[in-house]
Structure 1
Amino acid sequence: MKYLIFLSLLFFACQPKEKDASIEGKWEYVKMETYNPAEPINLQDSMVNVLHESQRGMTFWFDNKNFKATFKRPDGSTEPMGEQPYELAKDRKTVILNNTGRADDKFPIIELSDSILKINIFYSDKAYMVFKRMD
Structure 2
Amino acid sequence: MRTLYVLALAAAASFATFSTAAAQAPDAAGPAGTTIQVTGVPMARYRLDTEGFNYYKGTYELSNGKYMRVSNRGKRFFAEIDGERRAELIPVGRNVFIAPGADMIMLFDEVYNGRMNDVVIRPRRQVG
TM-score, normalised by the number of residues in structure 2: 0.39
Structure holding more helix per residue:
1
If asked which structure has higher relative contact order (CA below 8 Å, sep 6+), I would say 2
> Could you state the TM-score of these two structures normalised by the residue count of structure 1?
0.37
